[in-house]
A and B are shown apart, each in its own frame.
Chain A
Amino acid sequence: MAENRGKNTSPERHDLSGTGRETGKGVGRVLVAVYAVFALSASARAGVQLLTKYHEAPLAYVLSAFAGVVYILATVGLAGRRAAYRALAWAAVLVELTGVLVVGTLSVAAPADFPESTVWSGYGAGYGWVPLVLPIFGLLWLRHTGSAAPTNSTRD
């Protein structure tokens, strides 16, 4: 299991120094992976539902599709390197947090309107609460990598 690369380079170098402030590096890469998994599962599931049984619960399926698109945009934004990607990530993660809070609240307050669950129903309880925790980590990570940027960024 011993890796030559692991011996030669400090694994923490990219985590703590000011040189690699990309959101898709180091522990950020884990975040991107989780986002990618949710992007894939949410949009694939919504795609099947919209194509095969749209009329059974249109609101839930459209919401699932919307969530899938938001996850895709967040994944792309976090994985990208330029400032525009960072802006995209901020926007997508903020929409995601709003979505999970609004849909979560509505699904608890008016369950009759949500016969079919979405990713965000019950604040993501059906997905191990990951949909609720993920945007919080996303925002913290964006803030962390943004504020620690060594360049004379005007952002933030």
Chain B
Amino acid sequence: MITTLAFVLVALTVALAVFGLVTTALGHPAGRAHTLVVGGIETLLVVQAVLAVLRVMGGVRPPETETFLIYLAVSVCVLPIGLQFARADETRWGGTVVAVTAIATGVAVLRLLALWGGASG
């Protein structure tokens, strides 16, 4: 796992959360803009997950490896599901749903960082 990429991802999820809340405040439902932003961040999350899995397969063992892998799965899965759920609703609250899933994803990446820090890898 690349520490820089992880920190960038945490910053991006925070930015996405703010974006979602702003669209709610402006009264816009979740739409194409949300899909594009989520798509970009999701691509980076997948890159991170692939890199991390490759390193774990290469022998790096973070403490609580099972927990690490679960957080890795969560970091990849939550945003697309949340986006789907948000876009299925035509009210302004779709953006807030995206924000909730963005925060959850950011927390998952922070937990990944903490666990990876103990990996001595």
Q: Is the CB of B89 within 8 A of A6?
A: no
Q: How far is B92's CA from A5's CA once the two chains are assembled, in angstroms?
A: 10
Number of chain B residues close to chain A: CB under 8 A: 28
**Which secondary structure dominates chain A's binding surface?**
helix
**Which secondary structure dominates chain B's binding surface?**
helix
Known: A1-B23, A33-B100. A41 touches B28 (CB 8 A): no
Among A6, A27, A34, A44, the most chain B Cβ lie within 10 Å of the Cβ of A6
Inside 8 A of A15's CB, which chain B residues have their CB?
Answer: 91, 93
Contacts across chains A and B counted by CB atoms under 8 Å = 81
Interface residues on A, range: 20 to 34
Give the interface segment out of B4-12, B29-37, B42-50, B54-62: B29-37
Binding site for A on B (CB under 8 A): 23, 26-29, 31-33, 64, 66-67, 70, 74, 78, 82, 85-86, 89-94, 96-97, 100-101, 104
